[in-house]
């Protein structure tokens, strides 16, 4: 009888990189950092999730100012520009959340 050598699943890169092993990879992504933090004596963490779309207030105000300037200089159909201006005003309102996140962090 021929002896078959069986490789441990955790040493099988083909298996670990397969779609079926995704839960194993996710668990590793959770446990590895947890172990590293624990070794450093870090017991609790806070994670902030944000959006790259929300900008700081100064950037939003500069953008609005440029758009308003373009609107004054334009002499034609400005429907697209009006939408951009409306969006820029919303961006200014949303920037308060950016500022609050910066302050909290």
pLDDT in tens, 27-64: 999 999 999 999 999 999 888 777 788 999 999 999 99
**How many CB atoms lie under 10 A from the CB of residue 91?**
19
Q: What pTM was computed for the model?
A: 0.55
Is 100 contained in some domain?
A: yes
What's the number of domains the chain is made of? 2
Is 47 contained in some domain?
A: no
Asked if 57 and 98 touch (Cβ cutoff 8 Å), the reply is yes
DSSP designation for 55: -
Instruction: Please name the residue that has the structure tokens 């446990």.
Output: 31
Is 3 contained in some domain?
A: no
Quote the pLDDT of residue 79: 85
* E strand or H helix at 96: helix 79-104
Cα–Cα distance for residue pair 105/99, rounded to 1 Å: 10
Quote the pLDDT of residue 76: 76
Is 14 contained in some domain?
A: yes
SS3 of the chain: helix, strand, coil, percent, to 5: 70, 0, 30
Model confidence pLDDT, tens digit, residues 5-30: 888 999 999 999 999 999 999 999 99
Parent domain of 95: 57-104
Is 51 contained in some domain?
A: no
């Amino acid at each position: 009888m021929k002896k078959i050598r069986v490789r441990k699943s955790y040493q099988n890169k083909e298996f670990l990189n397969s779609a079926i092993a995704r839960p194993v990879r996710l668990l590793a992504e959770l446990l590895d950092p947890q172990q590293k933090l624990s070794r450093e004596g870090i017991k609790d963490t806070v994670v902030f999730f944000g959006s790259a779309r929300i900008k700081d207030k100064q950037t939003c105000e500069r953008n609005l100012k440029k758009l308003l300037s373009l609107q004054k200089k334009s002499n034609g159909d400005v429907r697209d520009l009006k939408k951009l201006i409306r969006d820029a005003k919303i961006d200014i309102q949303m920037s308060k959340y950016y500022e609050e996140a910066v302050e909290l962090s």
